[in-house]
Structure 1
Amino acid sequence: MSETGRFSLLIVDDDKGMRQSLLELMGAAGWQAEAVARADKALERLKVLTPDVILSDVRMPGMTGMELLARLHPELSPPLVLISAHGDIPMAVEAMQAGAYSFVEKPYEPRRLLSILTHAAEQSRMRARNAQLKARLFELSGLDRVLMGQTPVVAELREEVLDLAPMDGAVMILGETGTGKELVARALHDLGPRADRPFLAINCAALMPDSFEAEMFGVAQGPEGRLQAATGGTLFLDEIASCPPVVQAKLLRVIEDQQVFPVGGAVPVAVDLRVMSATNEDVEQAVAEDRLRRDLLFRLNTFVMQLPPLRQRRDDVMLLAAHFLEDYARLHEIGAPALDHEDAATLMAHDWPGNVRELRNVCARRVMLARRGGGSMAAALTQDRGGEDVPDTLREAVAAFERELIGKAIKAHEGRMDAAAEALGIGRRTLNEKIVKLGLDKAALL
């Protein structure tokens, strides 16, 4: 791409007269153009040059234009326009099917050729700007940390999040327990136009029909409901297939009408909410068993995202384990335990039914074992936390562990709750609930 802002072109043609003619045409049109006589020379130039478009003859000594096209990366390389005096309709069709941007016959009509090349250059630059924007969004949002991994399925998932975040349609997120459904929903919210408004996460399995309207819709002349307080933001319905049927009907009306009736009120109150939902169940089976309304499902599944289980992305296991070990080691102010061959074999042999959440918990136990001077991934995986300094009951042990870990996370991130929740691998709502349950004093920790 030209640094001056002018479009740039790499011409590939073995005919010296044609190369000169094309250079003069493009120069007169204000383009930056360079010409080479062979396709192999073009590949060499592309190592140091990034033109907006490539214009290549089809029949040349050595590598042909069609062979050059096959050597180009379909997404990263500039668009290629083929030009030939021997062209015919079948060749043009073959070229387009192989990925060529367009096909032009010699002798060319200058205005038509310029029009084709200009459109190709504009598309090329738009693709480059989109790639830069996505890279910047990754950097700003930490999406590559929230959805960490190098396997193709995770890379595609990150791209899907970036594609869906600016839209306002409902998103249903499907996946097994522990795959990160709420983290994906938060990423969609944080990268979208509603990021400065609330993200309201509701556990549908815990909703009580008797108190639902007062809690969610508010009371006339009384407290504002949670949906009104979150207007302009995102409503995340977790475990939607476990929602009581009576509540499903009420949610459906809210989603359809975008308004609520406070308890005791006669006038509706408008709300503006983007709706996301999640479940680890088969939604069609839930509908067939009358546990999920089909009309509600149709309102929720405008876009559907399927999160992969960890066993389908085994190449990410070691990367994730190293990351989690570093996180927990930093919280406990010790060095991260090194992963040896036995640890790697243990991690790769496990099926991870609890997915990324299970792996994170195993790494947390591994760090706790390291604090006592020993341990292995095999011991952490079997929940062998040793016999020293263990409280009398499992409940007390878990509470003590969570209290210490959450306190250190809040302190390490200087009270930034979103960052602390991300480091702990839980949602902000879950973190708030645990702080209250465990009786932690945030102010005292800071």
Structure 2
Amino acid sequence: MSEAEQKRRPFRALVIDDDKEMRLSLAHLLEAAGWRCELLSGPPQVEQKINQWQPDVILSDVRMPNGSGLDLLHLDQQTPPIVLISAHGDIPMAVEAMRAGAYSFLEKPFDPQRLLRILNNAAERHRLTQNTQRLQERLAKLSGIDRVLLGQSPQLQTVREQIIDFSSTPAPVLISGETGTGKELVARAIHDLSDRADQPFIAMNCATFEASSFERMVFGVQNESLGTFMQAEGGTLFLDEVASLSPDIQAKLLRAIEHREITPIGSDKPQSVDVRIVSASNENLDDAIAAGRFREDLFYRLSTVVIDLPNLRSRRDDIVLLMQHFLAHYAALYETTAPELDAEEIATLLAHDWPGNVRELRNVAERRVLSARRGGGSISTSMRLENDMGNVPETLREAVASFERSLIAKAIQTHQGRMDAVAEALGIGRRTLNEKIVKLNLDKSELL
């Protein structure tokens, strides 16, 4: 990692030790070296902290009253490199730790400079691995953008050009468009094509925030949790549905953006943040300003450059092309042949106003493919939103897959993409949820 990248987003360490004095000593050593630390007294809650804070490395004692550091090597999730320390270390324990997947093992008392070298090497290795994974994710996300922005209309060509142009600048971007036009996917494309692509992209649905919880969720709590600003450090913070923010929240957000710093709850020391702001609204913000519901100064902070996403009814020449694309996609997913559209179905497509835009069209395409698999169906019947028995796949396995897709998609939408909450609501583990999302070919960004 280059010096500039290290400065942009300092390494993060999760320090676990039952000895409070040792925890504080390790934190002091790391923070003096430019690291950021979160402290725990034992293994419980480690998985939750990893999900919340996404550390680059875990530094843990081995023998603790409430668990062993060796247990961290068997967590049911992907973990960053684990460096173990122990006052009771011996060769068999070190061998066991390394075989189980520990990055390194040190015996107390240890040389502080050696510990820092090991931690830096572990964190750099973790970042490189993440960068490779992010590159793969970027390609997948960009293919998602291509699906939403598929079309030959001049409006779509303009949007594609704007994404390329604006991604290379640090200026705030405001994306406007109706529900279902792909605002978050455009925001992700801007991030993925920018020089921040190897840093986090954090999406924040402003419609879910209340004034009482805003500071906790956005600015974080000292020594407890990171807010969305710090989670996005060095990367992009996407503010969706900004028009829904209350006046009090707008004022707090404006100060954070203007001063490029936040103050976590419980701290009297502001922390500087380096994030690029991309926002979106399905409401006309000029109207919201005129009605006194949105601050004009915040609008100017957010809208240095603006991308207007066209609705589907304004580019009817693209409707049939999009439908054919989605029919082919879902035919491959359900291992069947894509149905051919007759003149009546094409007329039905072109006569519809598509209030749900591309998202609605995609759903119709999926229902059309499921109907065609049974040898029937039409575009007009697929447009019916009622989930009657005619839309049930013919085999039990298909029916279960269809039900799981529907249930998981609804949970993702209900919980605004917060995957821990989705897993809890469905009564399954996060790892199981991730596997099902991959297996069922669900795209979270297209559901939100």
TM over 0.5: yes
Gaps of 5+ in 2: 1-137, 394-398, 440-448
Shift of 1:374: 1.2
Kindly tell me: are residues 399 and 293 of structure 1, through their superposed partners in 2, closer, same or farther at Cα, counting changes over 3 Å?
farther
Q: Does the 8 Å contact 2:141/2:189 carry over to 1?
A: no
Describe the superposition over 1:322-379 as per-residue Cα deviations: whole angstroms up to 9, x where unpaired: 1111222222222222211111111111111111111111112212222333100011
Shift of 1:163: 0.6
CA–CA separation in structure 2 for the residues paired with 1:147 and 1:155: 9
CA–CA separation in structure 1 for the residues paired with 2:189 and 2:288: 27
| Letter matched to residue 404 of structure 1 | R
Aligned to 1:331: 333
Shift of 1:242: 0.6
User: Paired residue for 1:304, among 292, 295, 306?
Assistant: 306
Matched, 1:403 2:404: yes
Aligned to 1:319: 321
| Letter matched to residue 320 of structure 1 | L
Q: Does the 8 Å contact 1:365/1:383 carry over to 2?
A: no
Q: Does the 8 Å contact 2:177/2:308 carry over to 1?
A: yes
Aligned to 2:152: 150
Aligned to 1:366: 368
Kindly tell me: are residues 213 and 399 of structure 1, through their superposed partners in 2, closer, same or farther at Cα, counting changes over 3 Å?
farther
Q: CA RMSD in A?
A: 3.1
Aligned to 2:267: 265
Aligned ranges 1:35-434 → 2 under 5 Å: 141-142=142-143, 143-383=145-385, 386-388=388-390, 401=402, 403-404=404-405, 430=417, 432=419
CA–CA separation in structure 1 for the residues paired with 2:332 and 2:290: 48
Q: Does the 8 Å contact 2:323/2:365 carry over to 1?
A: yes
Kindly tell me: are residues 251 and 367 of structure 1, through their superposed partners in 2, closer, same or farther at Cα, counting changes over 3 Å?
same
Q: Does the 8 Å contact 2:141/2:185 carry over to 1?
A: no
Gaps of 5+ in 1: 1-136, 392-397, 410-424
Kindly tell me: are residues 444 and 230 of structure 1, through their superposed partners in 2, closer, same or farther at Cα, counting changes over 3 Å?
closer
Q: Does the 8 Å contact 1:144/1:158 carry over to 2?
A: no
Identity %: 48
Farther-moved stretch of structure 1 (435-444 vs 165-174): 435-444
CA–CA separation in structure 2 for the residues paired with 1:385 and 1:198: 38
SS of structure 2 residue aligned to 1:164: helix
CA–CA separation in structure 1 for the residues paired with 2:164 and 2:391: 46
| Letter matched to residue 301 of structure 2 | R
CA–CA separation in structure 2 for the residues paired with 1:259 and 1:201: 19
CA–CA separation in structure 2 for the residues paired with 1:431 and 1:363: 27
Which protein shows a greater Rg?
A: 1
Kindly tell me: are residues 277 and 215 of structure 1, through their superposed partners in 2, closer, same or farther at Cα, counting changes over 3 Å?
same
Runs ≥4 residues deviating over 6 A: 137-140
CA–CA separation in structure 1 for the residues paired with 2:141 and 2:282: 29
Q: What is the TM-score of this pair, normalised by structure 2?
A: 0.59
Describe the superposition over 1:231-283 as per-residue Cα deviations: whole angstroms up to 9, x where unpaired: 11111111111112211111101110111101110111111111111111111
Q: Does the 8 Å contact 2:153/2:315 carry over to 1?
A: yes
Number of aligned residues: 287
Kindly tell me: are residues 337 and 390 of structure 1, through their superposed partners in 2, closer, same or farther at Cα, counting changes over 3 Å?
closer
Q: Does the 8 Å contact 2:148/2:181 carry over to 1?
A: no
CA–CA separation in structure 2 for the residues paired with 1:322 and 1:210: 47
Aligned to 2:49: none
Q: What is the TM-score of this pair, normalised by structure 1?
A: 0.59
The answer to which structure, 1 or 2, has the higher relative contact order (CA under 8 A, 6+ apart) is: 2
Q: Does the 8 Å contact 1:161/1:184 carry over to 2?
A: yes
